[in-house]
Chain A
């Protein structure tokens, strides 16, 4: 079983990625999320949301996409 709750926002239009991430944070308190994003601006927006919620995370490029993992 994965140690992360996966939130796949690849290819979705704004503001869906941020809304889905916010919903996942709300629905899974205390659990780590792995957010899969495909666009640079989506990565930026999701990171901004996590910072505003004071959620620690790591962010990395995987091929042409992005993975943001919360702690």
Chain B
């Protein structure tokens, strides 16, 4: 099993498969160039749990349950499941929170950034500049000895809690009307729940085995000239690009892109925060879900940070607004974050520098 993804071409094929899975979700109901966005779906989940009350982004997304549980099950099956905790959990909560603020100012996690790029959304390429710069900044601190310290093995039940809670929530979501559920907007656009769950289980398992990480892809290139993780993302991008070109959904440009805005500075800074925080946390939002599934309580805490970040982003109007063309009844909207979102994002970036600078030490393998 460990040799399943031991070559770049195998990782690229894994990316192609994951791209195909994302396409199936988009075709069967999920928002077109959102498809399988981790930040968007955690935000929807936060809305469904009434942690925020933005009516258009509330839905208990089975995909989030599937990512975590797919990783959990494959890790158990391949004896890679290991429950650990204790590596600066509060800082990791904060990093999750900041990743979500940055992602929602940009309007998407790194996975959605790639999906948007494959659909020709030029704003996503602008976001990529910020994302790469954030990863580069994180790498500088890694070279200076940045570390959040060691995680230690803890009782096995710790690692079961998040997958179990997510499954209980899914059962409640499917069988009752307890949770909020959007009637319009992105939260109302959804693939059939069981299909979404099954696809996300497979996606989560593949992501666990391949170590898929959007921040890790660039980080490993910057630090070690290692293109392994990047080859997964290449495969994913090619699959999505091919689909969009063949079906006529590829439209290159800054305007007219679904759920996006063209405020370049804020696209760059939003993804800068995501990239920087992801390197400090040891992985992008998707990777955090996968690590949580394979037993990391620290990553489960990061997930909670993402969830609370999403609630704050919508309760206090920090998320970027999507640009919209004028209609007969409404004026054109430029989109992007409001003043509060801009201030909080800049503060978040400042906090990242403080976290990075205060957790550096001379690398010492015996500490």
Contacts and interface: CB of A to CB of B under 8 A. Distances in A.
Interface of A: 6-16, 18-20, 22-24, 38-41, 44-45, 48-49, 52, 64
Contact of A23 (B87, B219, B363): B363
Size bracket, chain B contacts: 20 to 34
Contacts of B219: 15
A15 B142 contact: yes
Nearest to A17: B365
B365 A9 contact: yes
Greatest chain A CB density within 10 A among B86, B142, B150 is at B150
A14 B291 CA distance: 11
B181 interface: no
A64 to B, nearest CB: 7
Shortest 3 CB-CB contacts between residues of A and residues of B = A13-B282, A11-B150, A40-B80
Interface of B: 2, 6, 78-80, 82, 84, 86-87, 142, 147-153, 211, 213, 216, 219-220, 223-224, 226, 228, 281-283, 363, 365-366
B129 to A, nearest CB: 22
Contacts, number: 70
Contacts of B142: 15-16, 19
A48 B365 CA distance: 19
A6 B365 CA distance: 8
B137 to A, nearest CB: 15
23 contacts: A8-B365, A9-B365, A11-B87, A11-B149, A11-B150, A13-B147, A13-B148, A13-B282, A13-B283, A14-B282, A15-B142, A15-B224, A16-B142, A20-B363, A23-B363, A39-B80, A39-B84, A40-B82, A41-B80, A41-B211, A44-B211, A49-B224, A52-B226
B82 A39 contact: yes
Greatest chain B CB density within 10 A among A11, A14, A40, A45 is at A14
B82 A64 contact: yes
A18 to B, nearest CB: 7
Greatest chain B CB density within 10 A among A8, A15, A20, A64 is at A15
A50 to B, nearest CB: 13
B220 A15 contact: yes
B323 to A, nearest CB: 36
B220 A38 contact: no
Given A38-B153, A64-B153, A12 B147 contact: yes
A39 B142 CA distance: 20
A39 B147 CA distance: 17
Contacts of B80: 39-41
Contact of A13 (B87, B152, B211, B228): B87
Greatest chain A CB density within 10 A among B82, B151, B219, B365 is at B365
Contacts of B281: 13
A14 B365 contact: no
B365 A7 contact: yes
Nearest to B215: A14
A68 B348 CA distance: 39
Given A9-B365, A41-B80, A41-B211, A15 B223 contact: yes
Contacts of A24: 365
Given A12-B150, A14-B216, A40-B79, 4 more contacts: A8-B366, A13-B147, A13-B282, A15-B142
Nearest to B148: A13
B361 to A, nearest CB: 11
B224 A22 contact: yes
B335 to A, nearest CB: 35
A11 B152 contact: yes
Nearest to A61: B79
Given A10-B150, A11-B150, A13-B148, A19 B363 contact: yes
Contacts of B147: 12-13, 16
